Amino acid sequence: MERFVGRCKSLVNTANIIIILFLGSIKTNAQKQYNVLDWKADVSLNTYLVQQMHQQYDERRADFNNALKSKEQTLTYIKAVKQKAKQVFGKLPEKAALNPQVTGEVKQDGYRIEKIVYQSFEKHRVTANLYLPNGSGKFPAVLLFCGHEDVSKATESYQKTAILLAKNGFVVFVIDPISQSERVQLTDENGKAQTRGSTTEHTLLNLSSNLLGTSVAAYELFDNQRGLDYLVTRKEVDPAKIGVLGNSGGGMQAIYFAAIDDRVRAIVPCSYLASRENTFAATGAADGCAQIPNEGAQLLEMSDYLIAAAPKPTLILAGRYDFIDYNGTLQSFDDLEKVYASIGEAEKIALFTYDDGHGISRPKREKAVQWFRKWFYNDDKTIVEPEFKTLTDRELFSSTKHKVSLSFPNEINVQQQNELLFSAYAESREKFKKQGSAERQKVIRKLLNINTEERKVEVEELGQVKAKFAVFHKVIIRKEDEVPIPALVYYSQKPVKKVIVWISEDGKNKLVDSLGLMQQYIDQQDVAVIFADLRGTGETADKLELNDPKYFSKDYRNAMLALHIGKPLLGQRTTDVFSLLEFVSLHSQLKNAALELNAKGNIGLAGLYASLFRENIVNLNLYECLESYQQILQQPLAKDRYNLVVHNVLSYYDIPDLVRWTKVSVTFHK
């Protein structure tokens, strides 16, 4: 990757600073005496994000309650949330020829199983099992979406669900999601997974997908829609009687599918429907296949996806002791009941709760089959599941080498598809480059969701602290409706001619005692230095234990919530840089000095964005900073990059474009 160097060299000694940064990274314990904030600051960012989210859902509640005033208003609400659902999913891939293959058959008592492989988008295969009841004629059919079990369609509970349905007169299509069973996407040349589980792979692939305006949820939705495209070609299937059933992560797939695909006639999600608002506030985001940017910004609750499908018959299956928030399940079901009652279809919505935990247990399977029988056979009799014999995953594999990556040498996985999509967006990026500066800035402001107007900052002085080589003033920089910024400021003995601002992913406290760093500034005698923590770093960094390491991101819960509310973390940190610059511009000792901004780590992109809108930065030095979003597409296993995600950014520009557009001298340092 070509390095992009600005129009003039920084005045600082680059070699010395690089050494300092590496030495600084060895220190693992921040010096607490340099902390500025006098409260439990590690929750500040999450508290701010949750407050922002609650405001959005308060607005959603008002809209929802207003919609219940009449049948006509309710129908208008249903239409609106359906449109919003389609909007957040964005553009789906281009359909390829299905090219279905039946690669094997297993005959069982009263039914048979066909092993199926079909193509969704070009050179991207989906493995599945088709359960066909004995007998002739067209049968109702059910799409069965799997949760996160590694064996996916071979999971015992899914096999038993499919068998019970088949023995009760349904064709059942059980589809492997990406990242599971035969469809692991990130593998070595031997087909071995490069991550420890599907939730990690989903999350990493979702990160790169978001940059391109799509998501893993969208890829799964598309695969499932293509599965239905295949299903309705079968002579055994009645295309007017299609149901969808999913458990756990498959339950979320079923909820999304219900909102988007009008061909579905009955819906049964199990062990997933809850409240997005409750979940984000209490435990944070789940893995990448269940998260779509801008849901909160569009005022979409989880129940809205099912409301979008109303008045189709919908049964919610839940475990009272599930780790999925049961109170959230009840809240969402209450929404559904009110909507169905308002439009005069109350008999088409139901909740079945069993005193167990997560998963589609026998009582839930029985209720699911009874529900489908009721609406497709006009038969509401109780279903009793006998003992069923299940098969091994090897007996159900559909691809010849048990992995699509090995079975099809030209297979295009999601990572490769994203790289192809990046190339396909080259024309739109080129078109964006040709727009005027004002037009480009308007789009960038919208993508980051930032206010670029200068706004008043309030400064609170909290005394001084003596470091090893200098005395620093403790300062809190506040801006209305933003997270406070803690900073340490060193003032030179002579009138200030230059202001050096440092931001770092590791926090300011690890830099203030750097001899090589501070000594050169002190020796210059006319330099002021500001070390500051942008939100989510240093003093306000989230606790590591609140971010599951399987998601490969130390600020996962906050980065995902930020994307959910439509305020990407990178945009919020750009706002923090604005606040630092406004602090300097208002300070009597600093405002007339030249300003240099230095950043360690990928947080430097916040400085780069700020330089597009502020001309008081003279030099911008970026150390160990991402130089192109394309690197993320090419390096899907890299850690701690969710804080860089700006939804759909790569259909407009990449980082090198930002460097060309800024008037600031920008230098990348390895």
Q: What is the pLDDT of residues 30-62, one digit of tens each?
A: 468 999 999 999 999 999 999 999 999 999 999
Q: Write down the pLDDT at residue 16.
A: 47
- Indicate if the pLDDT at residue 429 is higher than 50: yes
Q: Write down the pLDDT at residue 514.
A: 84
- Indicate if the pLDDT at residue 8 is higher than 60: no
The pLDDT of 114-131, averaged and rounded, is 98
Q: Write down the pLDDT at residue 392.
A: 98
Its pTM stands at: 0.94
> Whole-angstrom Cα distance, residue 160 to residue 389?
8
* Per-residue model confidence as pLDDT tens digits over 278-290: 999 999 999 999 9
Better-scored residue on pLDDT, 513 or 501: 501
Judging by beta carbons within 10 Å of its beta carbon (0-12, 13-18, 19+), is residue 508 exposed, middle or buried?
buried
Confidence of residue 430 (pLDDT cuts 50, 70, 90): very high
> Whole-angstrom Cα distance, residue 428 to residue 445?
18
> Whole-angstrom Cα distance, residue 423 to residue 654?
12
> Whole-angstrom Cα distance, residue 562 to residue 542?
14
Q: Using DSSP, state whether 352 is helix, strand or coil.
A: strand
Q: Write down the pLDDT at residue 137.
A: 83
CA neighbor of 613 nearest in space, from 402, 365, 364, 442: 442
pLDDT > 70: percent of the chain? 95
> Whole-angstrom Cα distance, residue 82 to residue 304?
8
Q: Which residues neighbour 453 within 8 Å (Cβ) at sequence distance 6 or greater?
A: none
- Indicate if the pLDDT at residue 229 is higher than 60: yes
> Whole-angstrom Cα distance, residue 319 to residue 335?
19
> Is the CB of residue 514 less than 8 Å from the CB of residue 34?
no
- Indicate if the pLDDT at residue 1 is higher than 50: no
What is each CA distance from 515 to 20, 357, 436, 509, 520, in whole angstroms? 8, 57, 45, 13, 8
* Per-residue model confidence as pLDDT tens digits over 454-511: 889 999 999 999 998 899 999 999 999 999 999 999 999 899 999 999 999 999 998 9
* Per-residue model confidence as pLDDT tens digits over 56-91: 999 999 999 999 999 999 999 999 999 999 999 999
* Per-residue model confidence as pLDDT tens digits over 354-410: 999 999 999 999 999 999 999 999 999 999 999 999 999 999 999 999 999 999 999
Confidence of residue 103 (pLDDT cuts 50, 70, 90): very high
> Whole-angstrom Cα distance, residue 195 to residue 207?
15
> Whole-angstrom Cα distance, residue 459 to residue 476?
6
> Whole-angstrom Cα distance, residue 509 to residue 532?
9
> Whole-angstrom Cα distance, residue 127 to residue 403?
9
Alpha helices in 27-97 (DSSP H): 44-67, 71-89
> Whole-angstrom Cα distance, residue 308 to residue 40?
41
Confidence of residue 27 (pLDDT cuts 50, 70, 90): very low
Q: Using DSSP, state whether 341 is helix, strand or coil.
A: helix
The pLDDT of 2-20, averaged and rounded, is 40
Q: Write down the pLDDT at residue 624.
A: 96
> Whole-angstrom Cα distance, residue 200 to residue 375?
38
- Average per-residue pLDDT in the chain? 94
- Indicate if the pLDDT at residue 4 is higher than 60: no
Confidence of residue 22 (pLDDT cuts 50, 70, 90): very low
Domain layout of the chain by residue ranges: 14-58+451-669, 87-95+135-170+177-383
Overall fold of domain 14-58+451-669: Rossmann fold (3.40.50)
Alpha helices in 489-629 (DSSP H): 515-524, 556-564, 569-586, 604-613
* Per-residue model confidence as pLDDT tens digits over 296-310: 999 999 999 999 999
> Whole-angstrom Cα distance, residue 208 to residue 637?
11
- Indicate if the pLDDT at residue 15 is higher than 50: no
> Is the CB of residue 45 less than 8 Å from the CB of residue 542?
yes
Angle between helix 14-26 and helix 515-524 axes, rounded to 10 deg: 140
The pLDDT of 153-158, averaged and rounded, is 98
Confidence of residue 28 (pLDDT cuts 50, 70, 90): very low
Tell whether omega for the bond before 140 is within 30 degrees of 0, i.e. cis: no
Better-scored residue on pLDDT, 519 or 554: 554
Backbone φ and ψ of 49, nearest 5° = -65, -40
Backbone φ and ψ of 544, nearest 5° = -60, -35
**Hey, do 14-58+451-669 and 87-95+135-170+177-383 end up sharing a CATH topology, with the first three levels equal?**
yes
Q: Write down the pLDDT at residue 607.
A: 98
* Rounded to 5°, angle at Cα 607 from 606 and 610: 90
- Indicate if the pLDDT at residue 338 is higher than 70: yes
Overall fold of domain 87-95+135-170+177-383: Rossmann fold (3.40.50)
- Indicate if the pLDDT at residue 29 is higher than 90: no
Token pair, residue 432, equals 């964006």
Pairing of strands 498-504, 527-532: parallel
Pairing of strands 111-119, 125-133: antiparallel
pLDDT > 90: percent of the chain? 91
> Whole-angstrom Cα distance, residue 575 to residue 573?
5
If you search the block for the tokens 């008592």, which residue do you land on?
Answer: 109
